[in-house]
């Protein structure tokens, strides 16, 4: 970034602070460089890289577009902010709306259906189970970026959330990682080796090919960085490395050391409506969205902050404080990795990629579910968060704060509205020209071809659905793909297709209605004005593009009336029956014995005996 650009960014952030947008409005971290996009200074061109760079890919879980300080969020993220200032941050980066499909796309550069991971096991209906593209594991012929980099002489390591299978042939060691310590579940506790939902009996951690046990002093973000540092240090310094860290932050249960969380005790006390409006105002001030771009109304069924009791308001504000603290804790441990690489002389030759897998998590596990309340208490969890995110906390932000976190986008995780797809992404390091934040349309499947190109490798024709970002990163171009190239997404019936400034989108129950809508997100990033009737030709054009996308990638239609929340419940009951069959069998025997006893008593009282 130019000196002029930095001055512009500082001036705008100071201006935002002076307007007093509310308790949730002023970021705590470094000045935001998004505003520098208005600078007329030409983008610098990166110096050519003479040796193969190392790669560090840092993937957050359920992090919203504006959760980072550098994107206008409330949490302090100085280490991630520094990476953005060193390289490029992206303001139009899209991932899939759900974790496993996004991770499969990141690791392969392919559409999620082509990888075999079209959705997640918790949400798949029986009509799709086992079908091509829906095996929920990497299918034959799918090649990961780790395998490709191994072919380029790289050491390859992974720590953190995998969630792409743990059966024979499905672990990271089977897909190009030399060493790995991973969680194969949608989430888990951050302090202990235990499940976070009844679907999982325990937390399935693996080191390389074997089940693993967590240390007694485990905290997820700290441990994942510690283990990655150990892996990096154990390898030959003559080989470059690829390090992939899949953080649990900020997936349910939201947990973090109190030293990070308590500082945000007052940040969210004015509630979700104030937070959502404040982020929307900041998004305009720092250039994430155009001035005057409308803000979408919350989805139907969300509560007003004023409808909550004072006790409930305090509880949700505390959960949001823990959420911010968990983000800061992740950033702190990323800083430890950066410091280690600097100390060992590896930092200057390391390319960093930071991104989120999807938008913020809306689930409220306690909403009307007495069985979940019983399960959490039985498993040593407390929703009260009296200990500010320490061991035993079951933290979650719920749909209302998720909608606020997703501001200025609509909706949240699971859905293909902007709140579910539009997330932060940063790339920095050798071969990448520091410059203005990029507004080029980029997607998660672009990362794998970018890393391969930066490593000097070449792929066969058709190997990727994504496009290398190298021409943009080196300053040769400012766009990645033509405005005439359609880009589609689909997960569990929620679908979107981008083409230029237009977006076609459909969301299913419980927060969607299954209707296709058309938006111009260049002027309406909040998706407030449906253009399907005003621009029927454009609507039909994008519908045809979506049908072509769905046919090309093997997208299956959802069963009539599909509701993801209902399906998760059904799949969880089935899974629990498998976990606890012996309990059910014992209960069945007890019931049979009791009925037989009653039968005998009845026969005796009537003067007869059973045959």
Residues with Cβ within 8 Å of residue 168, at least 6 apart in sequence:
none
Rounded to whole angstroms, the Cα distance separating 173 from 156 reads: 10
- Choose, from 113, 163, 319, 333, the residue flagged as catalytic: 163
Rounded to whole angstroms, the Cα distance separating 497 from 503 reads: 6
Q: Is 579 a catalytic residue?
A: no
**Tokens at residue 304, please?**
């007003």
> Of 484, 457, 487, 483, which is closest to residue 470 (Cα–Cα)?
457
Q: Which residue has the tokens 């058309």?
A: 518
Beta bridge pairs of residue 241: 155
In this structure, the number of other CB atoms found within 10 A of the CB of residue 44 comes to 13
Rounded to whole angstroms, the Cα distance separating 84 from 426 reads: 6
**C-alpha 435: how far from chain center:** 26
Q: Where are any strands of DSSP class E within 516-606?
A: 517-520
> Of 448, 436, 506, which is closest to residue 475 (Cα–Cα)?
436
In this structure, are residues 394 and 372 in contact, taking their beta carbons and an 8 Å threshold?
no
Rounded to whole angstroms, the Cα distance separating 218 from 233 reads: 20
Rounded to whole angstroms, the Cα distance separating 295 from 276 reads: 9
Rounded to whole angstroms, the Cα distance separating 43 from 5 reads: 11
Handedness of CA 90, 29, 47, 53 (dihedral sign): negative
Q: Is 113 a catalytic residue?
A: no
In this structure, are residues 178 and 157 in contact, taking their beta carbons and an 8 Å threshold?
yes
> Of 373, 446, 348, 371, which is closest to residue 106 (Cα–Cα)?
446
Rounded to whole angstroms, the Cα distance separating 24 from 442 reads: 29
Handedness of CA 182, 188, 193, 199 (dihedral sign): negative
Integer CA distances (angstroms), 248 to 143, 183, 346, in order? 25, 9, 26
**Tokens at residue 144, please?**
């990961």
> Of 314, 372, 316, 296, which is closest to residue 569 (Cα–Cα)?
372
Q: What distance, in Å, lies between the first and last C-alpha atoms of the chain?
A: 92
**Tokens at residue 291, please?**
């001035």
> Of 12, 608, 80, which is closest to residue 281 (Cα–Cα)?
12
Q: H-helix or E-strand containing 333?
A: helix 310-343
The set of catalytic residues is 99, 163
């Amino acid at each position: 970034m130019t000196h002029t650009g930095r001055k512009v960014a500082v001036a705008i952030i100071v201006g935002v602070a002076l307007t007093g947008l509310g308790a949730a409005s002023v970021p705590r971290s470094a000045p935001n460089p998004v505003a520098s996009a208005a600078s007329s200074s030409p983008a610098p061109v990166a110096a050519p890289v003479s040796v193969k760079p190392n790669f560090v890919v840092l993937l957050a879980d359920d992090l919203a577009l504006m959760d980072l300080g550098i994107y206008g969020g409330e949490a302090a993220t100085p280490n991630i902010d520094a990476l953005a200032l060193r390289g490029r941050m992206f303001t139009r980066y899209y991932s899939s709306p759900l974790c496993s499909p996004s991770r499969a796309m990141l690791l392969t550069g392919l559409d999620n259906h082509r990888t075999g991971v079209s959705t997640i096991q918790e949400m798949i209906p029986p009509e799709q189970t086992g079908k091509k593209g829906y095996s929920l594991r990497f299918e034959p012929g799918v090649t990961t970026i780790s395998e490709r980099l191994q072919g380029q002489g790289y050491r390859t390591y992974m720590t953190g959330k995998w969630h792409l299978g743990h059966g024979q042939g499905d672990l990271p060691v089977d897909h190009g990682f030399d060493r790995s310590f991973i969680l194969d579940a949608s989430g888990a506790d951050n302090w202990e080796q235990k499940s976070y939902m009844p679907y999982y009996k325990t937390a399935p951690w693996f080191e390389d090919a074997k089940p693993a046990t967590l240390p007694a002093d485990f905290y997820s973000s700290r441990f994942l960085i510690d283990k990655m540092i150990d892996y990096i240090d154990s390898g030959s310094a003559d080989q470059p490395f690829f390090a992939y860290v899949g953080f649990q932050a900020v997936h349910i249960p939201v947990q973090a050391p109190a030293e990070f969380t308590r500082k945000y005790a007052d940040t969210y006390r004015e509630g979700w409506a104030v937070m959502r409006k404040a982020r929307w105002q900041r998004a305009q001030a720092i250039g994430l969205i155009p001035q005057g771009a409308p803000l979408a109304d919350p989805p139907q069924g969300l509560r007003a902050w004023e409808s909550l009791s004072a006790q409930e308001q305090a509880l949700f504000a505390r959960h949001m404080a823990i959420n911010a603290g968990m983000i800061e804790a992740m950033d702190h441990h990323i800083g430890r990795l950066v410091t280690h690489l600097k100390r060992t002389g590896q930092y200057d030759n390391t390319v960093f990629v930071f991104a989120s897998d999807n938008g913020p998590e809306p689930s409220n596990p306690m909403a009307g579910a007495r069985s979940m309340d019983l399960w959490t208490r039985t498993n040593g969890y407390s929703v009260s968060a009296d200990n500010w995110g320490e061991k035993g906390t079951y933290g979650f932000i719920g749909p209302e704060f998720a909608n606020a976190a997703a501001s200025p986008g609509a909706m949240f995780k699971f859905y293909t509205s902007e709140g579910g797809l539009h997330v932060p992404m940063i790339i920095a390091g050798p071969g990448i020209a520091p410059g203005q934040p990029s507004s080029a349309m980029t997607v998660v499947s672009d990362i794998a071809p970018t890393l391969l190109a930066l490593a000097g490798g070449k792929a066969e024709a058709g190997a990727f659905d994504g496009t290398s970002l190298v021409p943009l990163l080196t300053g040769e171009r400012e766009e990645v793909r033509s405005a005439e190239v359609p880009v589609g997404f689909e997960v569990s019936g929620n679908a979107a297709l981008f083409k230029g400034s237009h977006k076609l989108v459909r969301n299913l129950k419980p927060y969607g209605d299954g209707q296709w809508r058309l938006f111009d997100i260049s002027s309406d990033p909040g998706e407030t004005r449906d253009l399907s009737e005003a621009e029927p030709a454009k609507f039909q054009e994008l519908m045809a593009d979506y049908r072509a996308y769905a046919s090309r990638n093997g997208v299956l239609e959802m069963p009539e009336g599909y509701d993801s929340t209902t399906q998760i419940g059904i799949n969880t009951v089935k899974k629990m029956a498998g976990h606890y069959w012996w309990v059910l069998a014992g209960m069945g025997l007890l019931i049979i014995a009791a009925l037989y006893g009653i039968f005998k008593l009845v026969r005796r009282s009537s003067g007869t005996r059973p045959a």
